[in-house]
Amino acid sequence: MYLSRLIYYSKNNVVNTADQSAFKQIKSILDQSSTHNRERGITGALLFNQAYFAQVLEGDRKAITETFCHISRDKRHSDIVLLSANPITERIFADWTMAFAGKSDGASELYIRFGITQDFNPRKMTSESLLAFICELIKIDEHVAKFPAEKSS
């Protein structure tokens, strides 16, 4: 296994529809991601707001590449930018198939610290600063949803 980390961002195309609210669509993404990632040994984190998704995927290089290709065909994403895909020696998100953070009060101070102003805009960030931002947000925000890497018995 070639352990790797892939970081990307995309435009968020999720909107309320007559059939399904944006919240339900995001929950569906998280549920599917958690199951998919667990089966493939992928861990990571997802951040989103009204405009963007940003995601970190960690695991076997082939598994995360296939997952990224699947995401790139998903109509809920557009304008996808791959920031980095590099080999790593250890995972940052080893405990979670997906840690998830939306817009929260805990993010305001981090926006300023990471030079994002009022809104999260990954176009103004490097892969390193985006990874650091997501890690910090997960640490300070009690509303982060964390899907464990191992299913409870």
* Whole-prediction pTM: 0.80
Q: Give per-residue pLDDT as tens, 104-139.
A: 555 556 555 655 555 677 888 889 988 988 888 777
54 or 18: whose pLDDT is higher? 54
Domain region containing 110: 3-148
63 or 13: whose pLDDT is higher? 63
Q: Is residue 153 part of a domain?
A: no
| Sign, CA torsion 33/22/144/132 | positive
Q: Is residue 106 part of a domain?
A: yes
pLDDT, position 153: 38
Q: Is residue 14 part of a domain?
A: yes
Q: Give per-residue pLDDT as tens, 55-104.
A: 999 999 999 999 999 999 999 899 999 999 999 999 998 887 776 665 55
CATH for 29: 3.30.70.100
Number of domains in the chain: 1
Q: Give per-residue pLDDT as tens, 20-46.
A: 777 777 777 778 888 888 999 999 888
Name the E strands within the chain. 3-12, 43-48, 52-60, 77-87, 96-101, 145-148
Spatial CB neighbours of 18, under 8 Å, sequence gap ≥ 6: none
Q: Is residue 109 part of a domain?
A: yes
pLDDT, position 106: 55
Residue 148 has pLDDT above 70, yes or no: no
